[in-house]
Structure 1
């Protein structure tokens, strides 16, 4: 990383911040960590539905903003 331009490091830091923000949003607004079942398929199903809800929410907000 020492050989990377400063601009690239700032972009990387910003993307990390956005990723943390997304995880917090998934946890707080969409219940990503609420699954307590014992099976991988159940956990995978829950994660898929939470991810889909997050995408629909973001796309709806962007469409409303663009209109």
Structure 2
């Protein structure tokens, strides 16, 4: 099966871009991994479910 987009970022780089701590970024990425949205390996993040990631990033409806 075809993998999704691959992003060349570490947890630290994601944290820096999001303006948060590395610990928070890693915790969120762990939840996304557990949900099957992403996979990560050696400084790369692979998006497995772009639709679900987009929905999660938009937050709950009506907010």
Asked if these proteins are the same fold (TM beyond 0.5), I'd say no
- Which structure shows the bigger proportion of residues in strand conformation? 2
Higher relative contact order at CA 8 Å, sep ≥6: structure 1 or structure 2? 2
- TM-score, normalisation: structure 1: 0.37
- TM-score, normalisation: structure 2: 0.38
- Which structure shows the bigger proportion of residues in helix conformation? 1
